[in-house]
Every structure is written in C-alpha cells, then in structure tokens.
Structure 1
Amino acid sequence: MHGSVDRSGREQRMQLITSQFKPFVTTLCIILYFTPPASSLSSIRSFASKFKNRMGAGISTTQWYLHGKRHFTKTGYLRHIKSYTSPVQDRASIGIGEAGADGVDMTNKCVVITGANSGIGKELAKYVAAKNANLYMLCRSKERAEKARAEIIEETKAKDENVKILLADVGELSQVRSAVKELQAKEERVDVLVCNAGVLLNDRKETSEGNEVTFAAHLLGGSYLLSNLLLPQFKAAGSEARVVYVTSGGMLISKFPSWDAATNQPGCGEKYDGTNSYTYAKRGQVLLAERMAVTEPDVAFVTGHPGWSGTNAVDDAFGDDKKYLEPMRTEWQGAEGIAWLMSTERKNLESGAFYLDRSPQKKHIAGPFMSEGSYTKNKKSEIDEMMENLKSKAGL
C-alpha cells in the first residue's frame, strides 16, 4: 500500500516537472528544427542565456520581496531594534540631554546631506541639527530648501548659523563641482557626507550634460563625483570621517549590468525602465562603497538602506501598489539606522558594508534558500570597468 502511494507521488511529481519544462523543450526543438546546422549551437546558447537570465530575475525578485516583507517593513524595524545595544530615539528632533535622547552629541561636526529638504534626508537633517552639528543641506530647489530649513530650525531649536544651504542638482556634474567649491571655501573639514538625493522616473530623461537622470543623480554625480571631490575634507576631519550612500534593498534584485545598459545608452538593447535604472544605480552605490573602502582606508564608506518607508517619493513611484510594501515604516524609522551610521564611533562601522537598522546585511540573496547565489554578483573585471567609466565620465 505504501509502495503504491510512493509511486503515485513520484509519478505526480514527474508529471509536474515535465509540464514545467515543456515550454523550454518545445522552444528548443523549434530552434533546432528551423535553424541551419552551422548556427544551431549559437542559437541554443543564446536561448539558454536568455532563459537563465529570466529565471535568475524571477528568483531574485521573489526572494527580495519575501526578504523585504520580513526585514524592510515596520514590523521588521520593530523586531530589529530589540537587538540594539545602545539607545534609540522615537523621533529625529530630540536634542542633546532631552528626555528620550540617544546620548549623541555632534557639536563641531561638519555634516553634508544631499536631498535634505524632504523624506529620509529631512529626517537626517533634523537629527544632526538637534545634535548641534554644523549642517549643510545640499538641495536642488532653493524654495523647498529654505522652507525645510526654517521647519528644521523651529522643530529642533538649532542655532540659525548651524543650518546652511548649498544649492545643486547632483545629477549635473558642473553644479556638483560648484557646490563643492563653495563648501571648500567655507570649511576645511567635512566629518560626514550623506549621499541621499535621488529620483525614480517612469520616462527616460537626460541632464543638460547628456547623462541619464537616475544614473547621474544616484551614482555618477550624487555619489561618485561628490565623495571624490571632498576627499581632502574627509581626511582633514581625521579618523572618524565617513561617507554614507543611501541605497535601496532593491539592488538585491540585480547585478550592475554593462555600462551601456546602466546608463541606458541608445542601442543598449534595453527599453527604458525607470525601476531597472534605479536598481542598477543602487547596486552601483554598493560596489562603489566596497571599492572606496579599499582605495581610501582613512575614510569609512558604507551604504545604508532605509527599508520600505512612507515617503512622498515612494508615493510618487508606487502609487496604489505601495500597499504591497505595508506595513510601511515612518520616515524616522527608515532614517534611524542611517542616523546611527552618521553618528556612531568609527570602530563600530565595517567600511564597505551594506547596512539596515545598524547591522551589516547580505548583499546577495539570489541563491537557494536566500543564499548568495551568483546571479547578482559582479566579477572584479566588471567592477574595474565601472570604476574606470565613472572616473572618465566624471572627468577625474
């Protein structure tokens, strides 16, 4: 009796496996039948490559979502903070010595935050302003920056002279250079740089310099060029200096593709997809931090993920689909772990690491049972090429 049940189960499983592979086998047979013998092998390889890529993309996306539902949500945050070994604030604007403060004092620290007028960036700006830091809000819009600055000062009771504005669209390389030049004329040292500004577009747009906007804002200008130009200021700040690239867990879906695909050049073979461009740039930030941690050991370079947080940018990007990311974090719950990266002692940081809620995270989960796998990994030669292209494109 048991034997017949086992055979029946095996037969059912084999039927299921066979049905899953029927489309693959059928397509392969069609290729073999209609393709001339001389090119059959290359056609098979091409098909197999596409099949592998689609399988990899499906697996990595599914596992990213499952992983995210456990760790990137509000539920994940509330679970993670139970393991914290130092205090956590329940809002950004609690000042030094106030009830509920985490004990951080950033007096005399020079902090630069891009995209500081809204969302995660504004929460981080509130935090360092409340901790008495010398804050520079690097923003694209003068009007929005001034409004946010006034609100931050009012909420945190920060000194007026401690909260300053720098204007630049970080996707425009010339504007990044101008903003850095202005900052360097005022400050000999920068203790903390947070590269937070970014955008997620549905349609392809270019900067005035001909670069795809998402790539330029997140990676080329907003991370690579800005942090490289400020290296002298980081080194002047001493051993506690650090750079935080605000990345996204979405980078777990993909490796950094070819340069043409990442920058969405005409003829790259990919139709523009704003989510893909965002994902590529975010993976690029993680690779950039890894490489900078090696080439610039005197400065800590880390990436931080705010989780799935209820910001205006998320509303604009996902619309009604954000319900699939619920329960979402508040803006401060998303920012809190990054605030820790900005303010903790250097000895607590692992340079080159990818963080969520104060803890280093896996950078790849595309393998079986959330193991690393290989689908999202880049070869050293691919990372070398990315770095060389960034250097050339940035004019360094």
Structure 2
Amino acid sequence: MAEKSDVIVIGAGAAGMMCAIRAGQRGHSVLVLDHAKTPGEKIRISGGGRCNFTNIHAGPKNFLSANPHFCKSALARFTPADFVAMVDRHKIAWHEKTLGQLFCDDSAKDIIHMLLDEMRSAGAEWQLRTEITGIEKTDGGFRVSTSEGTYDCASLVIATGGKSIPKMGATGFAYRIAEQFGLAMTETRPGLVPLTLDPVLLEAIAPLSGIAAPAEIRHGKTAFREALLFTHRGLSGPAILQISSYWREGEGITVDIEPDVDLLQHLKKAKQTNGRQSAQTALAEILPKRLAQYLTEREGISGNMADLSDKALSRLADAAQNWTVKPSGSEGYRTAEVTLGGIDTSVLDSKTMEAKAVPGLYFIGECVDVTGWLGGYNFQWAWASGFAAGESL
C-alpha cells in the first residue's frame, strides 16, 4: 500500500526546500523526494562556495520571462529582507558585495543546514537517492512511483530545476511532467553562460586568454557593466554571463572596455604630452598590455603618437570601446548557471504557482519561465516561488 502525505515535493533544491518549510509550517505532512545523494547541491557550489543567496535589489526588472508581470506577486510576498531575516535568525554571518549581492561569510553549507533545520522544525521529511519512475493523477491527488516505493499525495510540487549543469544531476524532468499533463512550454536555452567565438577570431585573440578588464557589454537596449574575461574558448566574466541571457545566435554584441575612461581623450592627451611614445604604450596605460598590443596591431597603428592623426586615434579608441563581436554560440548547459524559458507562465497561477488545468500540481523555481540576472536573483526567485506555493497549499 502506498504511503500517503498531504504534499510531495520533488526536488530538494532551493525552491523545493523553501516550499516544504512553508507547507510544513501550515500544518501539512510533507515529503521531499530527490535522486541526489545530498540536498541543495546547487546551493553548495554557488558563489564560489559561499552562496550568493539573494540580492537586496531583486525586483521584476531583474527577471526575463515571456510574461514580465508573472513574477511580481511571488517576489512581493517573499522579499530579500524576509530571507535575510531567516539567515539572521540562524546567526549566519553574511556580507554584501558589489551591486547588492549577499554572500555567506563562511560557507554555502550554512544555508543548506539552515533550510534543513527549518524543514525539521516544520515537520517536513525528506528522502534522497530516490528515482522517480512515474507520476499519475488519482481521485485523491497524485501517485508517485519511485525506486523506493509508491507514495500518494493530495498536492504535488515539481521543483527539479532546469537543464543547466547536468553534472550536478540536472535533467529535463519538470518539462517531461509538464508535457505529460499537457501544459505549454516556452523554448528553453542556456542562460548566464560564457559565449564562444568562431575559430578565426578565437585564434586572433588567443594571446588575450586569461585577461580581465572592466567593461560594458551591450545588446540592443540592454547593457551590463561588470568584468569581462577573455578565455581559450571565447568571452566570459559577469558582464558576458549577464548579456548571454539576452543574446541570440547570429546576433552581435558591443564591447566597451574601460567604459568609465574617455579613451580618445586619453590618447589625444598622450599625443600632446609625449608624442615620442607609441600608441601601444599610451593605450597600455589604461588597458592590459597584451590587449593594447592586440588592438594596435589589429588596427595597423604603429609609429610615434606625434605622427598619428586624430582619425587614427579615434579608430583605436573605437576598437576598444565600440568593438562589435559576433559570438558563434555559447558553452551550453554544461556551464550555464540557469535555464532560460521553461513551463509557460500562462498555464500557472502567479499567486500560487498551481497549474490552472491540473488542480493540486505546482511548478516552482528554475523550471518555470522566469529567469533572473546573475547576482543572487535566481535564488530569490527560488525562495519566493517556493514560499508562494507552500503558502497556498
């Protein structure tokens, strides 16, 4: 005979654990199932092992979705301040880094332990190393068949994430369940991911591998100002990861290196004050030496500054600050931090995360077509959507 719970949550990640906590606090019997050996694996590796657990600026403007209004309800009802209050209650030390990003002082494991303690206090149970082999609708709710037995529940919450970082156990499980119940999906693709370059350009910039510089990366009307990193595969760094969620194959991006510096004015001044130096030397006062060498050689600019026209200097400044690059692709789900797209928000209730056509079935977290920027936003969506579902159960 199948074991019975009020609520089964499939997925012991950020969203799933938060949902289990809130559902348990509301008096429901809750069972969390996951195929992983340990809970919260993505939490553990996030933020360099210190977990960028939220962002104090998190709001609808920081999320991508076919329906930009969908996330508003959940984000408003469980805010970064609400999560910080939980962190403070557990006496976990934290600090703010740039752009409102909050990190643990010590370890991401502190957040996992906190969530497990909260689940324990709420009476929620969890079972790991459990493969889900089937889900079916029953008169009383749902039946979940697993490698460890069969479980019945009145409400079923899918919190298994997207396809990003498959080595951490990510699969398209949530999408298969949505398909099984006839729920619409939007196109999925890797997000917050390094971009790759075609072999010709990659060979040309090979000497730049490992160089980082402040940059503004633009795509259409969207721009991010953070670090740019040249790699042996192409372009990475926070600014590139951010823009990757907006970029589509076949499109170009504009790279502006050292955007806070008027490079043309710097070069003109260098020409006046020390006309005997080379353009490469003058450029290297602002840019990394190898990058300065690459750009001057690429633009065919040599000789003393005094002999260079303002037009040549303008071309050189543009090479660094108005550089159009056409990526050939991305590194894919292997290194993507998130999955863009997913369960179409039109089939879900924005207040409860319940599937409108399948009462008792909920989808939360990354598997839904709501994707945050880099910097703690996706964790905030996990907490908020998990809380919204837990609150409505």
Normalising to structure 2: TM-score of the pair? 0.31
Q: Which has the higher contact order (CA 8 A, sep 6+)?
A: 2
Larger strand fraction of residues = 2
More helix by share: 1
Normalising by structure 1, we get a TM-score of: 0.30
